[in-house]
């Protein structure tokens, strides 16, 4: 069976925006599969520190490190087979390992198209373009208030403050808007979580068409696929993805975020609200003058800090593109 390794699917978006749901739906197609979340692309190709670290190591050390990587081990026996091939190869690089992961997993599943779901790859669009110029990118967007409310409950992110989650949302939404269409043109899809819940066929069908596969209504019966993709350690915050499509799973933020923080979210992400037709709660009207002034100051601070972060990230990614070119 031939795997279309040159056109992988990357699902990106701010964490808790519905990426796992989309992954499960697409993976339920008879010709499409997604690898378990290994984070390989981001950890080993998208990190300057890790990339330099591994490239200075011997093959034996690289193999040892990958064998100890709990995410890489999610591939099961495939990880051992790929590392054995790497060990015997004279010129197999880290990107070759990643491509082999995609290819071998697709073959093991009997599928022609393969994808990788890692929300934070939203920050690595230039690097994805470097290695996979024909890739299909799907950026999931969800009401920022629901995203942040969800991140405040998930085990992996609940220890972080609202301010940290807000920073991540702003920086990553800017990066996807700025570089997605520019780099990938019609191969870049923006998909609202709320639209996916409301009319899944309408929004999944164009993605299938772009891939060159036929939409199948059975894709919406994704429960068994989701259970396979979601690891036991992730079940706490992804359990909704293993159940039926929850059309009313919106507006969950109501009553969970205090007025001041709600007003801050809506002010800092004003452009996101406008672009995606999310209706602000107007919480800012219920705040004191001092609170409103502090939100204005924080808004400027977020603008400055996200600009610095994005510029630094872009420099790093472009450096990695040059090194891996």
- Cα 100 from Cα 106, distance rounded (Å): 10
Domain range annotation of the chain: 9-324
What pLDDT score was predicted for residue 153? 85
What pLDDT score was predicted for residue 225? 79
Of the candidates 70, 112, 107, 81, the one whose C-alpha atom is nearest the C-alpha of residue 231 is 70
Q: What does the DSSP assignment read for 70-131?
A: TTGGGGTHHHHHHHHHHHH-SS--HHHHHHHHHHHHHHHHT-SEEEEE-GGGGG-HHHHHHH
Cβ atoms of 9 and 115 closer than 8 Å: yes
User: Measuring CA to CA, how many Å separate 121 from each of 104, 128, 280?
Assistant: 21, 8, 28
What pLDDT score was predicted for residue 237? 46
Calculate mean pLDDT across residues 267-271.
97
What pLDDT score was predicted for residue 57? 87
Calculate mean pLDDT across residues 126-146.
98
Of the candidates 35, 94, 89, 39, the one whose C-alpha atom is nearest the C-alpha of residue 62 is 94
Is the pLDDT at 86 greater than 70? The verdict is yes
pLDDT tens, residue by residue, 155-188:
877 888 999 999 999 999 999 999 999 999 999 9
Straight-line distance from the first to the last Cα atom of the chain, in angstroms, rounded to the nearest whole number: 29
Of the given ranges (53-62, 90-99, 118-127, 222-231), which has the lowest mean pLDDT? 222-231
User: What's the full length of the chain, in residues?
Assistant: 325
Is the pLDDT at 96 greater than 90? The verdict is yes
pLDDT tens, residue by residue, 215-244:
999 999 888 776 777 666 655 545 566 667
What pLDDT score was predicted for residue 230? 67
What is the rounded average pLDDT for all residues in the chain? 93
Radius of gyration of the chain (CA): 20
CATH annotation of 9-324: 3.40.50.300
Whole-prediction pTM value? 0.94
Helix, strand, coil percentages in the chain from 3-state DSSP, rounded to 5: 65, 5, 30
Say whether 39 sits in a helix, a strand or coil: coil
Percent of the chain topping pLDDT 70: 95
What pLDDT score was predicted for residue 248? 87
Say whether 191 sits in a helix, a strand or coil: strand
Calculate mean pLDDT across residues 198-212.
96
| Three-class DSSP labels, 270-307 | HHHHHHCCCCCCCHHHHCCHHHHHHHHHHHHHHHHHHH
Is the pLDDT at 113 greater than 60? The verdict is yes
Cβ atoms of 265 and 148 closer than 8 Å: yes
- Cα 295 from Cα 301, distance rounded (Å): 10
């Amino acid at each position: 069976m031939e795997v279309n390794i040159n056109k992988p699917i990357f699902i990106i978006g701010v964490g808790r925006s519905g990426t796992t749901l989309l992954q499960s739906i697409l993976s339920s197609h008879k010709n499409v599969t997604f690898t378990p979340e290994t984070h390989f692309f981001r950890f080993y190709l998208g990190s300057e520190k890790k990339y330099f670290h591994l490239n200075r190591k011997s093959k034996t050390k690289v193999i040892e490190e990958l064998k100890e990587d709990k995410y890489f081990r999610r591939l099961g026996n495939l990880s051992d087979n790929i590392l054995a091939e790497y060990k015997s190869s004279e010129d197999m690089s880290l990107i070759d390992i990643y491509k082999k992961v995609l290819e071998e997993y697709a073959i093991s599943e009997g599928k022609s198209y393969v994808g990788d779901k890692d929300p934070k790859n939203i920050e690595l669009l230039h690097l994805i373009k470097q290695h996979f110029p024909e890739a299909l990118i799907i950026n999931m967007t969800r009401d920022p208030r629901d995203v942040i409310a969800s991140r405040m409950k998930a085990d992996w992110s609940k220890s972080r403050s609202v301010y940290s989650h807000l920073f991540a949302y702003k920086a990553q939404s800017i990066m996807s808007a700025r570089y997605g269409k520019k780099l990938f043109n019609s191969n870049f899809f923006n998909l609202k979580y709320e639209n996916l819940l409301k009319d899944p066929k309408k929004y999944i069908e164009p993605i299938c068409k772009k891939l060159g596969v036929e939409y199948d209504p059975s894709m919406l019966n994704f429960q068994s696929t989701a259970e396979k993709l979601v690891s036991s350690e992730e079940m706490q915050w992804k359990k909704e993805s293993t159940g039926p499509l929850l059309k009313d799973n919106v507006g969950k933020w109501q009553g969970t975020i205090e007025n001041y923080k709600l007003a801050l979210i809506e002010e800092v992400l004003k452009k996101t609200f406008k672009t995606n037709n999310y209706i602000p709660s107007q919480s800012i009207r219920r705040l004191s003058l001092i609170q409103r002034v502090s939100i204005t100051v924080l808004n400027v601070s977020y603008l400055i800090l996200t600009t610095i972060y994005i510029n630094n990230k872009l420099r790093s990614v472009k450096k990695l593109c040059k090194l891996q070119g």
